[in-house]
Structure 1
Amino acid sequence: MMASRLAFLLLCHVVLYTAVTSVKVCGRPPLTNGIDDSNLKRVYEVGEEVTITCGQGYLPSTATPQRISCTATGEWTQSNLACSPKMCPIPRALQPLAMGKTEAPFKSVLNFTCDDGYVLQGPSESRCLHDGTWNNPAPLCKAVNCPLPKPPKDGRIVHDKPLTGTTTMYGQSWTYECSPPKAPSYERGSCMADGSATEPPECREVSCPIPAAIENGFITFAVMRQHGYKEKVQYACNEHYVLEGEAEISCQNTGNWSSKPVCRAPCTVGIKRGRIFYNAKKIWIEDLKPNRVLHREPVVFYCLNKTESCGYPVASTCNDGTLPIPECFEEPGKMTYTLRSKTLPSEIEMCDAFPSATTNPARPA
């Protein structure tokens, strides 16, 4: 009898479970980003309706409220509601750091940092709020302050900019000077990122050796002796040579001279027959007297476009005694040059479009 009662109770449980689960229900509606889910239930019965709206900080794609209902299949009817986040305008000064973007969506966070040598004044972050504003304004970056620098013993400090107050700011610089004939072990100082000023240098005796000569040039108005700190000498080049670099050099605090200039050599135009364009004039090569082009001066040669039967110019530049001849240039024979000069590329009609320089590499003269 006990076994029969237990079987009956189990059967009742199975029937009850079957009866309950045969009724279709709907779970929570499928939600896209931005939809307000604060008032939604976990389970809905067939026929129940729900009005879905966008949450705070989001804008609806439709002006009218959207209603969806639970169907007999346990699924929800479709909704075309889309919620887009409200946008906060990015301050113009920060737009380059935001890769050029002018707005940021709701819930975005701006993190602020300052470069080395600057201190953040204000909050380190700001969040885009639901109403399209930032919860904090952009902070300021203020330069680190340093104490006034100390002058060297037997010397003084010359500041790049006038100072006011008892401190300097990061990035401000100055020059150390010593009483002649001494020189500072280093000449420049500054307010550094860690808030400290450069320590003063040592003043010491410095001299530079007798200045050396330069090739194809000479020293002007100088006594050939050792020179003291900051003393200067000047160089010049021989005729037709071009000076490259600073003409005047000075004795530095290291006991060495600053970099000497170089005299660059002129070039010879290495063709016997032909016409060139030089110094704003179109001239035959035999009329270039003397046959000399200075360093960095351009010379134009004329090449023939055989397909179009027209001429085109190709430039070359003198570089320290070397003037490359364009690969496309063909020097005419003596007979053609003498009797048929009007057929040369320099004399016939110029092409409408010139080949690029890369198609006409130069060959050494």
Structure 2
Amino acid sequence: MAPALALLLLCQVALYTTVTSKNVCGRPDVADGIEELTLNRVYEVGDQVNLVCERGFLPSTATPRKLTCTDTGGWTPSDLACSPKMCPIPRPLQPLAMGRTEAPFKSVLNYTCDDGYVMQGANESRCSHDGTWSNPPPLCKAVNCPLPKSPRDGRIVFDKPVTGSTTMYGQGWTYECNPRMAPSYERGSCMADGSTTEPPLCREVSCTIPTGIPNGFITFAVMRQHGYKETVKYACNEHYILDGEAEIQCQNSGNWSSKPVCRVPCAVGIKRGRIFYNAKKLWIGDLKPNRVLHGEHVAFYCLNRAERCGYPVASTCNDGTIPIPECFEEPGKVEYTLRAKTLPSEITMCATSPPARPA
């Protein structure tokens, strides 16, 4: 029994050796765009494969490329290349495509409309295998709103003329009330969802007796309560600069709009030295009175020790304060009196100013 079993095992080994010793080729590696569904997993030596492009791709040659399975288990080379077909990008969209005029097969265009516009058509289009888009570009149509309702005891003033029974998205208007009355809010519009602002309430509104401002005064006003949209005007004392709107208005909230501020002039805080002010070079003693208005600029002269030259650094008067640049060194009495020509303001000016630390 044992010899028969040994013979059977030897036959099986011989059979296995005979089958597996024959070289075969696996599925060939192909480039993108080449049809793979028709390829087998295993080929015998001498088998040939015709390579073709997938639908939606163009071959680099008119004749099919053939591959042959060689006895080494490899494939003969092929130079077939498949490029995707192109769809022309609609001209209005080309600026958004960074100058491109075509898109390759399988590309997708997604469309959106701005707020206040409704899309008519498909919001997506795909580049098809035949070089056309699956859907044309949609249209974005502006939302229409019904005409707004006027407030009781008031009316509506449109920003632009309106015709018909509707108005377009973005159209705005102002609500006005009869004399001595104010709307609870003043503005309305046609909104993105196609609705309009509800009309406000008209009610009597008054503002308290206006008060003065530091370093300024009310130019003319009767000291009484004021009604909606009545105004009061302010001015500043001499040498003070008005910052803000000179005229304030009684608002629909019953409060005044913001009052202006009178900004304080500055005194230049050095005793000795020269400055550049109002397009003139002045010794500080010649600045009479020592006063610079809010917002005006003054240049101080600093020394570049490495180059032995002077350079100006500007500073600005801000509500009573004018900072002195850190690089400025005020000369002593002797230097200022006897050696004034050696000061940074009097020596050669630097060709370029070094970066100065902020004043």
Q: If the length of structure 2 is used for normalisation, what is the TM-score?
A: 0.89
**What is the rounded CA distance, in whole Å, between the counterparts of 2:283 and 2:60 in structure 1?**
78
Which ranges of structure 2 fall in alignment gaps of 5 or more residues?
A: none
Which amino acid is 2:349 matched to? M
SS in 2 for 1:338: helix
SS in 2 for 1:308: coil
Q: If the length of structure 1 is used for normalisation, what is the TM-score?
A: 0.88
Partner of 1:19: 18
Tell whether 2:152 aligns with 1:153: yes
C-alpha change, 1:330 and 1:150, in structure 2 (3 Å) is same
State how 1:52-63 maps to structure 2 within 5 Å.
52-58=51-57
C-alpha change, 1:84 and 1:13, in structure 2 (3 Å) is same
Which amino acid is 2:18 matched to? A
State how 1:23-172 maps to structure 2 within 5 Å.
23-37=22-36, 39-58=38-57, 66-88=65-87, 90-91=89-90, 94=93, 100=98, 102=100, 104-130=103-129, 132-172=131-171
C-alpha change, 1:84 and 1:274, in structure 2 (3 Å) is farther
C-alpha change, 1:64 and 1:325, in structure 2 (3 Å) is farther
Partner of 1:250: 249
**What is the rounded CA distance, in whole Å, between the counterparts of 1:288 and 1:113 in structure 2?**
65
Tell whether 2:219 aligns with 1:210: no
Partner of 2:221: 222
Cα offset for 1:202? Answer: 0.8
Partner of 1:320: 319
Which ranges of structure 1 fall in alignment gaps of 5 or more residues?
A: none
SS in 1 for 2:334: helix
Partner of 1:361: 358
State how 1:220-299 maps to structure 2 within 5 Å.
220-299=219-298
SS in 1 for 2:19: helix
**What is the rounded CA distance, in whole Å, between the counterparts of 2:74 and 2:223 in structure 1?**
102
**What is the rounded CA distance, in whole Å, between the counterparts of 1:158 and 1:23 in structure 2?**
94
TM-align CA RMSD: 2.8
Q: Does the 8 Å CA contact 1:90/1:101 hold for their aligned counterparts?
A: no
**What is the rounded CA distance, in whole Å, between the counterparts of 1:141 and 1:109 in structure 2?**
19
**What is the rounded CA distance, in whole Å, between the counterparts of 1:123 and 1:278 in structure 2?**
67
**What is the rounded CA distance, in whole Å, between the counterparts of 2:27 and 2:287 in structure 1?**
95
Q: Does the 8 Å CA contact 1:328/1:361 hold for their aligned counterparts?
A: no
Count of residue pairs the alignment pairs up: 357
Moved more, 289-298 or 332-341: 332-341
C-alpha change, 1:131 and 1:330, in structure 2 (3 Å) is farther
Instruction: Deviation per CA, 1:72-107: give whole Å up to 9, x if none.
Output: 232224445554444545456546766x47354321
**What is the rounded CA distance, in whole Å, between the counterparts of 1:338 and 1:325 in structure 2?**
22
Moved more, 240-249 or 81-90: 81-90
